């Protein structure tokens, strides 16, 4: 990471050409750059119409915003230039600004990294922002907005408060234990508050799965013997114009996935190689990947066709049997459809929508959704369990509670952040 005394500049809006393009600056040289481009400084936080000049040449005219530190997204002096979204305007401005002393182009996620380093956002809020930018469905947006707005942070603040109170009680007993005027026993209310906290952590741990399904999407594997009609079903759904988000070729040769938006929930349908014993090495690899997808899926659709010899379904749950090619002959299964005739598709999609709704949980958006959340919550809960089972008021009891606090602080990014940061910010786009 280059030193962050540099002032950074980037195009923060999307692909060019566009109606308006937003160029963002952050760092100590922002003010002289604005003065040199626009002749003077506009009133802080007031969009102001200005012509931007390089020497005597007017590059473009647009609205500019000047946001001096510390009341800005990054906490530094920042500015946003709303210019016409022309490739030539943006290129000449970026080139000219980046060449000024103390200036350089921003790296991916660098504005947000500075916001984090300056205490404007904690790590969970940074993650919420990343999720919000990438949100494709309504439930993803809702979940991300709550996390960005500090929903998890304030939950954690409440938990840490409880831990601090209990630790203060224990420390008081340790300090005065020689004097005999403070009883060695912890008040029942303190123990009860830690037990209650443990219950709340358990509920949060339980909700990570729901949060993950909203954030990453529900994975539905289309499985069955070769020729059962898996690819035809996927194609029919992809072409049906029903709720398609994206149809990306899979990263592996034999797996293709289509993303659907079912009632605001992201659902991936995953097509794969047919399952059967095979002599061919390439096909065996396809089967191995199919088995891995089945193991990873949140739901398996097991396809049975009237013209294909049946196989034993895999021993995974949940699994629905789907009879295909119903135009040829009826087949006993939980769902029946014909990709060719288009019948039964909407019933299957409706059932998938209900399944996704249950899996993602109705009600308030989950505050937790990541592996990092799960690890931190589990570590905190394990420390509370040690506290509860020890039942003591000594240094060990205080240490268990301190460990629980540390696990929660790690989640906020207050300690041990470096390795998390590099991964997280690299996933952001330039200009964010
Ligand atoms: N009559 C009929 N044929 C189908 C239907 N779906 C698929 N097929 C045919 O069944 C064969 C195998 O289909 P495919 O989707 O490639 O199966 P996969 O190997 O499971 O992916 C192809 O010849 C399809 O044209 C259907 O709904 N009705
Ligand atoms: Mg196929």
Q: 223 with 207, same domain?
A: no
Which among 336, 360, 384 is the end of a domain? 360
Residues 227 and 326 in one domain: yes
Residue with CA at minimum distance from ligand 1 atom 14? 229
For residue 428, being part of any structural domain is answered with no
**Arithmetic mean of pLDDT, 228-234:** 91
- Encode pLDDT of 188-225 as tens digits: 888 899 999 999 999 999 999 999 999 999 999 999 99
Q: Is the CB of 228 under 6 A from ligand 1?
A: yes
Q: What are 409's two structure tokens?
A: 């602080």
Q: Is 430 part of any domain? A: no
- How would you list the strands of the sheet with 78-85, edge to edge? 48-54, 57-67, 78-85, 18-26, 7-11, 103-105
- Beta carbons within 10 angstroms of residue 140's beta carbon: 24
Q: Please name the residues in contact with 380: beta carbons below 8 A apart, sequence gap of 6 or more.
A: 159, 201, 403, 404, 405, 407, 408
Q: Is residue 236 very low, low, confident or very high in pLDDT (cuts 50, 70, 90)?
A: confident
Residues 284 and 325 grouped into a single domain:
yes
On whether both 112 and 152 belong to a single domain, the answer is no
Residue at 381 is within a domain: yes
Q: Which atom of ligand 1 is nearest to the CA of 338?
A: 27
- Asked if residues 144 and 157 have their Cβ atoms less than 8 Å apart, the reply is no
* pLDDT reported for residue 184: 63
Tell me the pLDDT band of 179, cut-offs 50, 70 and 90. low
Distance from Cα 271 to the centre of ligand 2, integer Å:
7
Q: Is residue 204 a part of any domain in this protein? A: yes
Provide CB contacts within 8 A for 281, sequence distance 6+: none
Residue 231: pLDDT over 80: yes
Q: Which residues contact 7 (CB under 8 A, 6 or more apart)?
A: 25, 26, 27, 28, 29, 30, 33, 102, 103, 104
| pLDDT per residue as tens digits for the range 121-176 | 999 999 999 999 999 999 999 999 999 999 999 999 999 999 999 998 888 887 76
Residue to mutate, 227, 270, 272, 304, ligand 1, most ligand atoms under 8 Å from C-beta: 227
pLDDT at 86 over 70: yes
Q: What is the CATH number of the domain that holds 64?
A: 3.30.1360.120
Same structural domain, 317 and 335: yes
Residues 349 and 233 in one domain: yes
Please give the pLDDT value at position 235: 86
Q: What is the CATH number of the domain that holds 232?
A: 3.40.50.300
Nearest to 151 by CA among 351, 365, 404: 365
Question: Quick check: helix, strand or coil at residue 54?
Answer: strand
Q: Give 1's pLDDT tier (boundaries 50, 70, 90).
A: very low
Q: Encode pLDDT of 20-35 as tens digits.
A: 999 999 999 999 999 9
Span 323-356, pLDDT tens digits: 999 999 988 999 999 999 999 999 999 999 999 9
Is 173 in the same domain as 76? no
Cα-to-centroid distance, 227 and ligand 1 (Å): 6
Q: Which of 312, 336, 311, 306 is nearest to 323 (CA)?
A: 336
Question: What is the rounded CA–CA span in Å between residue 187 and residue 425?
Answer: 45
CA 278 / ligand 2 centre spacing (Å): 15
Mean pLDDT of all residues belonging to the chain: 89
Are 207 and 223 found together in one domain?
no
The stretch 295-308 carries a mean pLDDT of 95
Q: Which of 330, 420, 408, 423 is nearest to 373 (CA)?
A: 408
Average pLDDT over residues 270-295: 77
Ligand nearest to the CA of 225: 1
Q: Does residue 315 share a domain with residue 221?
A: yes
Instruction: Tell whether 419 is covered by a domain.
Output: no
The answer to the question of residue 2 being in a domain is no
Ligand 1 atom at minimal distance to the Cα of residue 337: 27
Q: What is the mean pLDDT of residues 307-322?
A: 93
Angle at Cα 266 formed by Cα 249 and Cα 288, nearest 5°?
45
Same domain for 298 and 229: yes
Report whether residue 82 contacts ligand 1, using a CB cutoff of 6 Å.
no
Count of helix runs (H) and strand runs (E) in the chain: 13, 13
Residue 242 binned pLDDT confidence (cut-offs 50, 70, 90) = low
Same domain, 240 and 354: yes
70: containing domain: 7-120
CA distance 226 to 74: 55
pLDDT (0 to 100) of residue 254: 58
Q: How many domains is the chain built from?
A: 3
3-class DSSP state for residue 105? Answer: strand
| pTM, 2 dp | 0.85
Instruction: Decide if 247 is inside a domain.
Output: yes
CATH of residue 130's domain is 1.20.120.430
> Are 342 and 322 within 8 A, CB to CB?
no
Model confidence pLDDT, tens digit, residues 245-254: 555 544 334 5
Q: ∠ at Cα 27 (147, 106), nearest 5°?
A: 70
Nearest-CA residue for ligand 1 atom 19 is 227
């Amino acid at each position: 990471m280059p030193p962050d005394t540099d002032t950074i500049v980037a195009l923060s809006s999307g692909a060019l050409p566009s109606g308006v393009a937003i160029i963002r600056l952050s760092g100590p040289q922002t003010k002289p750059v604005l003065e040199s481009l626009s002749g003077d400084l506009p009133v802080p936080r007031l969009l102001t119409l200005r012509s931007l000049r390089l020497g005597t040449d007017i590059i473009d005219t647009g609205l500019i915003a000047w946001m001096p530190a510390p009341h800005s997204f990054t906490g530094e002096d920042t500015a946003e230039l709303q210019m016409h979204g022309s490739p030539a305007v943006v290129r000449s401005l970026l080139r000219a600004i980046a060449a000024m002393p103390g200036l350089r182009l921003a790296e991916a996620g660098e504005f947000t990294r500075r916001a984090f380093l300056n205490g404007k956002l904690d790590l969970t809020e940074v993650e919420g922002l990343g999720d919000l930018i990438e949100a494709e469905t309504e439930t993803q947006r809702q979940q991300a907005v709550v996390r960005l707005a500090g929903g998890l942070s304030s939950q954690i603040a409440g938990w840490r408060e409880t831990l601090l109170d209990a630790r203060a009680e224990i420390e008081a007993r340790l300090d005065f234990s020689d004097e005999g005027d403070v009883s060695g026993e912890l008040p029942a209310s303190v123990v009860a508050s830690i037990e209650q906290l443990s219950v709340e952590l358990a509920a949060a741990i339980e909700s990570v799965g729901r949060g993950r399904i909203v954030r990453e999407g529900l994975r539905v594997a289309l499985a069955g013997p070769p020729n059962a009609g898996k690819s035809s079903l996927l194609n029919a759904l992809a072409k049906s114009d029903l709720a398609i988000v994206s149809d990306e070729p899979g990263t592996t040769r034999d797996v293709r996935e289509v993303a659907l938006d079912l009632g605001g929930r992201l659902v991936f349908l995953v097509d794969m190689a047919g399952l059967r014993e095979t002599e061919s090495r390439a096909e065996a690899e396809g089967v191995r990947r199919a088995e891995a997808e089945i193991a990873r899926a949140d739901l398996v659709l097991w396809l049975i066709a009237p013209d294909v010899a049946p196989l034993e379904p895999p021993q995974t749950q949940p699994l629905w049997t789907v009879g295909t090619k119903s135009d040829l002959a009826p087949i006993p299964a939980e769902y029946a459809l014909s990709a060719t005739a288009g019948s039964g598709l909407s019933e299957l999609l409706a059932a998938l929508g209900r399944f996704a709704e249950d899996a993602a949980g109705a009600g308030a958006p989950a505050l937790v959704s990541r592996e990092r959340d799960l690890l931190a919550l589990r570590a905190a809960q394990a420390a509370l369990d040690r506290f509860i089972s020890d039942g003591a008021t000594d240094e060990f009891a205080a240490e268990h509670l301190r460990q629980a606090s540390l696990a929660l602080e790690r989640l906020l990014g207050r300690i041990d952040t470096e390795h998390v940061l590099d991964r997280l910010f690299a996933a952001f786009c330039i200009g964010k």
